[in-house]
Amino acid sequence: APAQIAVTGLAVMGRNLARNLARNGFRVAVHNRSQGRTDALIEEFGHEGEFTAAADLPALVEALETPRKIIVMVKAGEPTDAVIDELVPLLSEGDIVVDAGNAHFADTRRREDALKAKGLHFVGAGVSGGEEGALNGPSIMPGGSEFAYAALEPMLTKIAAHVGGEACCVHVGPDGAGHFVKMLHNGIEYADMQLIAEAYDLLRHVLGLSASEIADVFRDWNTGDLESFLIEITAEVLSQVDESTGGPFVDVVLDRAEQKGTGRWTVQIALDLGIPVSGMAEAVFARSLSGDVVRREAAVGSLPGPSGKVSVDREAFIEDVRHALYSSKLVAYAQGFDAIRAASEQYGWNIDLGAMATIWRGGCIIRARFLDRIKEAYDRDADLPSLLVDDYFKEAVANGQEAWRRVVGVAAAAGVPAPGFSASLSYYDGLRAERLPAALIQGLRDLFGAHTYHRVDREGSFHLDWSGDRKEHDA
Ligand code: 6PG
C-alpha cells in the first residue's frame, strides 16, 4: 500500500519524527538529500515499522497516497525554501506540505500564501521536545488551513506527547500561527533558563553553595509548584562531575551562551507588537553579554563591585530565591501569553490561549506542572487581560513578592547580576502602579518637541507654550 506520509530531511529531528510515525503504525516514505542518511535509517530502524526509502523527491512524491502529506525537516531559512521550490512542481492540488522546523512565522505566512495560490496547503508546524520528544512524543503546534489540519490530525495527535489522555497537539490557527506560538515557546524557554541561571548564581555566590548542593536544592524545588522539565535537568547538569578535572561539569563549560535566533525573534516581534516581554528580552541580552568577550575582558578586574559581603540566612534565602524564581516565571508566561494574544489579534488568528497551555503540558522543553494553572485561568475567563490578575497567579505572586523583593535587593547588594528577576519585578510593579512617571515623559516630549499631551480631567490634546507664556492650548 502507498505510504501515508513522507519525511524529507533525515537529520536527527526528521529521522526521529519518521521513526515515531512508523512506530505508531503509519506507513512512512523517507528521503534525504544525501542518500547515506536514508540508508542508515532503514538499516538501523527499518524493523520499527513500514518505511519506503526514496532516492529523490519525485520518488518520494510517487510513494504517497493522495492528498499527499510531506513533512519537511530541514534547516530554517533558505534550505527550507529550496526544498519547497523543488517539491511544489511535483505536487497536485490539495497536497499538504508541512514545515516542522523552527521557521520564522513571517516566512511561514509567505510560503503559505504562495502555496495556496497553487492549490496546495502549507502547514507551519512548531515541534518541540528535542530529539527525545521527536521520537517519543513531541509537543506539536500546527498552523495552516482547517482542511490540512483535519487531514493530518489523526497522525499528529497519535505521535504527540499525551498528558492525562490529551494530546499535546492543537490546531493553533491559520498560516503562521503555529510557528508564532513555537517561537513564543522558545522565548519563554529562554526566560525560564535565564531565571534558573540567576537562581543558581545567587545560591552559588551569595550563599557559597557548591554545584552539587544546588543540584539538591533544584531537586527539592522540583517536587513543588516549580516542577518542570527544565528544573529537573538543571539538577542533572549541576550534579554532573567533569571526568578530566574531577570538579563540577558546570565549572569547565565556557560561560558564553549561544543562540540560534528564536528567542531574539520573539523579542523583535514583541517590540513591533508593543508588548513588553522584559523577561525574554533580558534573557536574550544576558546571552549576548555572556558572549561579548571584548567588553567582558576589559571590565573584569577593572570595574569595582560592592565592598562588603552580604550575609543572609541559608534556608530563608533558598526559600526566597524559590519565590523569586516562581514569581518571575509567572511574569514571563504572562508576558508570553500577552504577545500571543496581540499577534492573534493583529493577524486574525483567533488563537485559543488556554489550549496553548494544553499543548505545552507535555513533550516540549517548557513542560511544567503549572501549565495546568494557565489552562484553568483561561477556562475561568477567556478574556483574561493578564495572567497576573487571575486569582491563582495573583495569590502566588502575593505570597512570593516580599521574598522576590529581598532577592533583587540582595542581588544588587552582592553585585550578582539578576536581570531577569529584577526586570520581571519592575514589570510587576509597573503594572500595578496607580500612577506611572510616564506623565513626566509626556511633559518632556511636549517641552522639547511640542508632541502634546492628554489630561486626566478633560478630553483632547494639549500643548503648553513652554518658551512663551507657558499657557495651555488645545493642540
Ligand atoms: C525545542 C527547542 C528547540 C531548540 C531551541 C534551542 O522546543 O525543542 O526549543 O527548538 O533546542 O531552539 O535554541 P537556541 O539554540 O537558540 O538556544
The ipTM of this complex is: 0.97
Beta bridge partners of 139: 128
Share of the chain above pLDDT 70, in %: 100
In order, the DSSP letters of 19-78 are: HHHHHTT--EEEE-SSHHHHHHHHHHHGGGS-EEE-SSHHHHHHTB-SS-EEEE-S-TTH
Q: Which atom of ligand 1 is nearest to the CA of 257?
A: 17
Confidence of residue 470 (pLDDT cuts 50, 70, 90): very high
Share of the chain above pLDDT 90, in %: 99
Helices and strands in the chain: count of H runs, count of E runs:
19, 11
259 in contact with ligand 1, CB cutoff 6 A: yes
Q: Is 329 a catalytic residue?
A: no
Given 69, 182, 282, 329, which residue is catalytic? 182
Query: How far apart are the CA of 230 and the centre of ligand 1, in A?
Result: 13
User: What burial letters (b/e) apply to 178-207, b meaning 16+ CB within 10 Å?
Assistant: bbbbbbbbbbbbbbbbbbbbbbbbbbbebb
What SS3 state is found at 103? Answer: coil
Query: How far apart are the CA of 178 and the centre of ligand 1, in A?
Result: 15
Q: Which amino acid is at 45?
A: F
The C-alpha atoms of residue 229 and residue 303 are separated, in whole angstroms, by 37
Residue 31 is assigned to a ligand binding site = no
The C-alpha atoms of residue 222 and residue 98 are separated, in whole angstroms, by 36
Q: State the average pLDDT over residues 343-351.
A: 98
Residue 118 is assigned to a ligand binding site = no
> Is residue 115 within 8 Å of 145, Cβ to Cβ?
no
> Is residue 145 within 8 Å of 121, Cβ to Cβ?
yes
Query: How far apart are the CA of 262 and the centre of ligand 1, in A?
Result: 8
The C-alpha atoms of residue 151 and residue 96 are separated, in whole angstroms, by 9
Give the alpha-carbon dihedral of 42, 43, 47, 53, to 10 degrees.
20
Residue 14 is assigned to a ligand binding site = yes
Q: Which has the closest alpha carbon to 348: 175, 195, 107?
A: 175
Question: 245-256: per-residue pLDDT in tens?
Answer: 999 999 999 999
Confidence of residue 369 (pLDDT cuts 50, 70, 90): confident
Grid-cell match 512512512, residue found: 28
Query: What CA–CA distances, in Å, run from 2 to 65, 186, 404?
Result: 5, 36, 59
Query: How far apart are the CA of 269 and the centre of ligand 1, in A?
Result: 18
Pairing of strands 121-128, 96-99: parallel
Q: Is 394 a catalytic residue?
A: no
DSSP 8-state symbol, 307 = S
Neighbours of 150 (CB within 10 A): 10
* Rg, the chain, Cα only: 25
Residue 47 is assigned to a ligand binding site = no
365 in contact with ligand 1, CB cutoff 6 A: yes
Q: Which atom of ligand 1 is nearest to the CA of 133?
A: 8
Q: State the average pLDDT over residues 70-88.
A: 97
Residue 143 is assigned to a ligand binding site = no
What SS3 state is found at 176? Answer: coil
pTM: 0.96
Closest residue to atom 9 of ligand 1, CA basis? 186
Backbone angles phi, psi at 463, to 5 degrees: -140, 140
Q: Which atom of ligand 1 is nearest to the CA of 259?
A: 16
Question: 147-197: per-residue pLDDT in tens?
Answer: 999 999 999 999 999 999 999 999 999 999 999 999 999 999 999 999 999
Left if phi > 0, otherwise alpha if psi is -120 to 50, otherwise beta: which for 173? left
Query: How far apart are the CA of 73 and the centre of ligand 1, in A?
Result: 14
Grid-cell match 530565591, residue found: 321
Run of H or E residues at 163: strand 162-163
Closest residue to atom 10 of ligand 1, CA basis? 128
User: Which of 189, 230, 267 to mutate to test ligand 1, by most ligand atoms within 8 A of the CB atom?
Assistant: 189
Q: Is the pLDDT of residue 48 over 90?
A: yes
Q: Which atom of ligand 1 is nearest to the CA of 186?
A: 9
Question: 156-169: per-residue pLDDT in tens?
Answer: 999 999 999 999 99
User: Which of 131, 179, 365 to mutate to test ligand 1, by most ligand atoms within 8 A of the CB atom?
Assistant: 365
Residue 33 is assigned to a ligand binding site = yes
Residues composing the chain: 475
107 in contact with ligand 1, CB cutoff 6 A: no
13 in contact with ligand 1, CB cutoff 6 A: no
Grid-cell match 518505511, residue found: 51
The C-alpha atoms of residue 267 and residue 273 are separated, in whole angstroms, by 10
- How many Cα atoms are found within 13 Å in the side-chain-facing hemisphere of 431? 19
194 in contact with ligand 1, CB cutoff 6 A: no
Question: 297-340: per-residue pLDDT in tens?
Answer: 999 999 999 998 899 999 999 999 999 999 999 999 999 999 99
The C-alpha atoms of residue 220 and residue 214 are separated, in whole angstroms, by 10
130 in contact with ligand 1, CB cutoff 6 A: yes
16 in contact with ligand 1, CB cutoff 6 A: no
Backbone angles phi, psi at 150, to 5 degrees: -60, -40
Q: Is the pLDDT of residue 47 over 90?
A: yes
Query: What CA–CA distances, in Å, run from 243 to 127, 235, 253, 374?
Result: 34, 18, 13, 42
Q: Which amino acid is at 366?
A: I
Residue 165 is assigned to a ligand binding site = no
The C-alpha atoms of residue 387 and residue 407 are separated, in whole angstroms, by 23
